[in-house]
Amino acid sequence: MEVAPVRHRPVIGEVILALSLGILTGCGGGSTPKTPPVTGDTPGRQEQIPKNRVLAGKTIVLDPGHNGGNGSHPAEIGKMVDIVTTRKECDTTGADTKAGYSEHAFNWDVAKRLERLLQARGATVILTRPNDTGVGPCITERAAIGNRAHAGAALSIHADGAPVGGHGFHIIEPIPISGHNAKAVPASDKLGLALRDAFHRGTGTPYSTYTGKNALNPRNDLGGLNLSTVPKVFIECGNLRNPGDAANLTNPGFRQKIAASLAAGFEAYFS
């Protein structure tokens, strides 16, 4: 608020005014409240994060799964693409909570939060899509983006749509396919462990109760992993159809915690 200039008063008036202000200040009424620290609960806000540049020189690709326009373009995302082990749809619409909060929006929100945290640490960050209103890209192109960038690491961000009774998070790791992802799999395994440990420690989310072992789930039916020649894993941050997980995943503060935990995981991986 802009304060109007005080006009000159006689000395007696100034003394009375000063005494009045002193009384108000002593009661707390005349002090100016401090601006609360910015918490970063929304992707566009500044936040207090250490700019330690520990990831300087590293290129990281973030792949927020699905996209906001996929649902209105079924023919485009439904075309079949070759992922080496089989053929699958170009992309899908993703999951939703019972209340209608969409996975594509969750993935995008976490990716943007994580992008800021990684950039503050000196990393070059590439996103596989520029917004949450477009279509695709196809799963084959998502892998190709990381390959062309010669990324030091890539992460596909998701939230699951499993049966309602299942809860917890898990990391999806690649299975070696000769001539495609095999050379990158050892580093992908290292990346998966670093992200799993940091996510579990930073968010308190339990390991998945419905798939994988110790929150690790190797698969060879995902194009984003089969076709990646750089270290890459997926994370399912929780189950959107489970009420407890959904309560966390729809909470902006918890999504910020997810991003901070994943940033710590990348630091551990590259250290």
Whether residue 215 contacts residue 169, with contact meaning beta carbons closer than 8 Å, is answered with: yes
Instruction: Report how far apart, in Å, the C-alpha atoms of 97 and of each of 75, 85, 106, 195 are.
Output: 24, 31, 11, 24
Tokens in use for 72?
């209105």
Radius of gyration of the chain (CA): 24
| Catalytic-residue membership of 103 | no
Distance from chain centroid for Cα 29: 42
Catalytic residue among 115, 141, 173, 236: 236
Whether residue 200 contacts residue 207, with contact meaning beta carbons closer than 8 Å, is answered with: yes
Task: Give the strand order in the sheet containing 153-160.
Answer: 124-127, 59-64, 153-160, 232-239, 170-174, 216-219
Q: How far apart are CA 39 and CA 72, in angstroms?
A: 35
Whether residue 225 contacts residue 145, with contact meaning beta carbons closer than 8 Å, is answered with: no
Q: Write down the H helix ranges in the chain.
A: 11-27, 74-78, 103-120, 139-148, 185-203, 223-226, 243-249, 252-270
- Residues labelled catalytic: 236
